[in-house]
């Protein structure tokens, strides 16, 4: 029973410590969040080593060579833990480390108090009647609400009038100094560009923790490119793991990947036909999986959707455009490509209209990448802004301005975001397939004409 209790304490402390550390990193500072998480990990390892020592000393293996070896390893780990704790205290915030270290201890006390409460006669009498239990829960919620309000009001209480006057004076001095610096600098000095704020991602946290580091500015500048390359590496890893040791009768992970590949292959072949379709499956299938992964990546906490940036969507659309034109030149030849741009004139009316059809077809080809990129960017960016707007609304619905959490209204739109991400990847892939199909030689028209002529002859 005791070991099970400690296992539940470790699980609860891990989840709670991770959530609090992320909140501290987002709303306080990344270093404080990291220090709090390190304190929680330090305390959990300490509890694990203490448990190992007590079990070894009181268990059936005490005095045996195996028990002595485990005891020695636990004591060595305890010494290393104290040494690492001293190093952490010198490198990080002691207050944040102490708060993280005490979190598992608070969880132990809370769980012990909960067990005592659940076994008490008063609790059994309270939960025996549903209306009495509901009233108690309502009173507890109202009390917690006003307690949080009192805490945040105390934390955000205005300072004295003298402090307010000194703050105003310092702000005025800062503004005057900034104006003087701005006048001394060139007119193009302000380089801050206004951009839409989304959810905080890991690169923004790292850059915020190191505002003066050159590598942090590099990461922040190439944020979208880094996320795109990271997703590509993840997909490469998935493909490698699925094909590392293929089985004749697949199961598990290999079976799932093969189902995805087979479904994409059948879908693309149904658009391009059984003769031309298979050779375009690698390009179009990779395009769909890559775009879908980038669309969904923004739903992962502290990550970002690269397709919410025009830089990525334009690059994808230009890749499709160049590939389609390459297919046209390869399959039709330069003369055939020009004939396709002229509208395939075969009679007098066609040749008369060909000077008009040429610019229309060229403008249509140039409009295709614009349509592909803007559609994908607009939908994914709109989904992200919708989630951000409703997450902000859920926070501002609480009257306590300093509370970093609120009602998760944005969770309602997660199914919509999932559906939209899949649909946008599918639309991009289908349109790319159609563009390739339109550029291929139209042999089926000649076959249909020959069949019609044979039927007419009979």
**pLDDT by residue (tens digit) across 324-365?**
999 988 888 888 888 878 877 778 887 887 788 888 888 888
pTM (predicted TM-score): 0.60
Residues 52 and 394: their CA atoms lie apart, in Å, by 44
Residues 375 and 431: their CA atoms lie apart, in Å, by 11
- pLDDT level of residue 442 (50, 70, 90 thresholds): low
Q: Domain spans of the chain? A: 2-119, 224-457
Q: What pLDDT score does 307 carry?
A: 93
Cβ neighbors of 431 (< 8 A, separation 6 or more) are 368, 371, 372
- CB neighbour class for 274 (10 Å; exposed up to 12, middle 13-18, buried from 19): exposed
For every residue of 307-340, DSSP letters joined together read GGSHHHHHHHHHHHHHHHHHHHHHHHHHHHHHHH
Residues 309 and 368: their CA atoms lie apart, in Å, by 18
- CB neighbour class for 187 (10 Å; exposed up to 12, middle 13-18, buried from 19): exposed
Instruction: Output the CA–CA distances (angstroms, integers) from residue 408 to 28, 140, 387, in the order listed.
Output: 20, 21, 10
- pLDDT level of residue 377 (50, 70, 90 thresholds): very high
- Which of 145-154, 252-261, 318-327 is least confident? 145-154
3-state secondary structure at position 299: coil
Q: What is the CA angle 308-312-315, rounded to 5? A: 150
Cβ atoms within 10 Å of 287's Cβ, excluding its own? 20
Q: What percent of the chain has pLDDT over 90?
A: 22
Q: Are 394 and 410 in contact (CB under 8 A)?
A: yes
Residues 235 and 290: their CA atoms lie apart, in Å, by 8
Structure tokens at 103: 């979190």
Structure tokens at 142: 């109202």
Residues 368 and 310: their CA atoms lie apart, in Å, by 15
Task: Over range 365-378, report the average pLDDT.
Answer: 92
pLDDT mean across residues, the chain: 78
- pLDDT level of residue 288 (50, 70, 90 thresholds): very high
The b/e string for 305-329 (b: 16+ C-beta within 10 A; e otherwise) is: bbbbbbebbbebbeebbebbeebbe
Residues 447 and 453: their CA atoms lie apart, in Å, by 10
- pLDDT level of residue 234 (50, 70, 90 thresholds): very high
Distance spanning both ends of the chain, measured CA to CA: 90
Cβ neighbors of 62 (< 8 A, separation 6 or more) are 56
Residues 305 and 287: their CA atoms lie apart, in Å, by 15
Task: Over range 139-158, report the average pLDDT.
Answer: 59
Q: Mind spelling out the 3-state secondary structure of 104-156?
A: HHHHHHHHHHHHHHHCCHHHHHHHCCHHHHHHHHHHHHHHHHHHHHHHHHHHC
Q: What pLDDT score does 449 carry?
A: 40
Inform me whether the pLDDT recorded for 33 exceeds 60: yes
Residues 239 and 261: their CA atoms lie apart, in Å, by 11
Task: Over range 433-445, report the average pLDDT.
Answer: 78
Closest CA to 75 of 88, 102, 58, 57: 57
Task: Over range 162-170, report the average pLDDT.
Answer: 47
Q: What pLDDT score does 313 carry?
A: 94
Cβ atoms within 10 Å of 375's Cβ, excluding its own? 16
Q: What is the pLDDT of residues 168-209, one digit of tens each?
A: 444 445 444 444 444 444 444 444 444 445 677 888 888 888
- CB neighbour class for 426 (10 Å; exposed up to 12, middle 13-18, buried from 19): middle
Rg over alpha carbons for the chain, rounded to the nearest Å, is 32
Q: What pLDDT score does 226 carry?
A: 92
């Amino acid at each position: 029973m005791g070991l099970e209790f400690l296992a539940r304490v470790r699980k609860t402390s891990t989840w709670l410590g991770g959530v609090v550390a992320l909140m501290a990193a987002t709303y306080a500072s990344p270093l404080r969040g990291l220090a709090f998480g390190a304190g929680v990990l330090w305390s959990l390892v300490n509890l694990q080593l203490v448990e190992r020592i007590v079990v070894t000393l009181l268990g059936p293996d005490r005095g045996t060579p195996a028990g002595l070896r485990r005891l020695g390893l636990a004591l060595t780990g305890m010494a290393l833990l104290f040494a690492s704790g001293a190093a952490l205290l010198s490198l990080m915030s002691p207050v944040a480390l102490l708060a993280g270290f005490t979190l598992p201890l608070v969880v132990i006390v809370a769980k012990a108090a909960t067990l005592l409460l659940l076994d008490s006669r008063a609790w059994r009498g309270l939960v025996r009647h549903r209306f009495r239990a509901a009233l108690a829960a309502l009173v507890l919620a109202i009390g917690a609400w006003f307690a949080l309000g009192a805490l945040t009001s105390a934390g955000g209480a205005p300072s004295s009038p003298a402090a307010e006057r000194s703050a105003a004076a310092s702000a005025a001095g800062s503004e005057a100094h900034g104006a003087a610096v701005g006048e001394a600098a060139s007119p193009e000095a302000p380089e801050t560009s206004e951009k839409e704020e989304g959810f905080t991602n890991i690169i923004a946290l790292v850059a915020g923790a190191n505002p003066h580091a050159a590598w942090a500015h590099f990461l922040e500048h190439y944020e979208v490119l880094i996320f795109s390359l990271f997703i590509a590496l993840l997909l490469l890893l998935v493909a490698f793991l699925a094909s590392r040791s293929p089985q004749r009768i697949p199961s598990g992970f290999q079976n799932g990947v093969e189902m995805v590949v087979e479904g994409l292959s059948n879908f693309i072949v149904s658009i391009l036909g059984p003769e031309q379709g298979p050779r375009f499956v690698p390009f179009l299938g990779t395009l769909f999986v890559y775009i879908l992964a980038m669309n969904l990546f923004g739903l992962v906490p502290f990550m970002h959707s690269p397709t919410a940036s025009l830089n990525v969507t334009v690059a994808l659309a230009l890749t499709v455009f160049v590939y389609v034109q390459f297919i046209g030149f390869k399959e039709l030849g330069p003369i055939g490509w020009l004939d396709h741009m002229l509208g395939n004139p075969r009679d007098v009316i066609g040749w008369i209209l060909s000077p008009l059809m040429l610019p229309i077809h060229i403008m249509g080809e140039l409009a295709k990448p614009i349509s592909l990129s803007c559609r994908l960017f607009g939908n994914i960016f709109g989904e992200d802004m919708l989630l951000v707007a409703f997450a902000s609304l859920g926070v501002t619905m609480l009257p306590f301005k300093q509370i970093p959490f609120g009602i998760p209204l944005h969770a309602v739109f997660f199914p919509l975001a999932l559906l939209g991400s899949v649909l946008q990847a599918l639309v991009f892939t289908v349109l790319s397939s159609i563009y390739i199909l339109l550029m291929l030689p139209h042999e089926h028209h000649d076959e249909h004409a020959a069949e019609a002529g044979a039927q007419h002859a009979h």
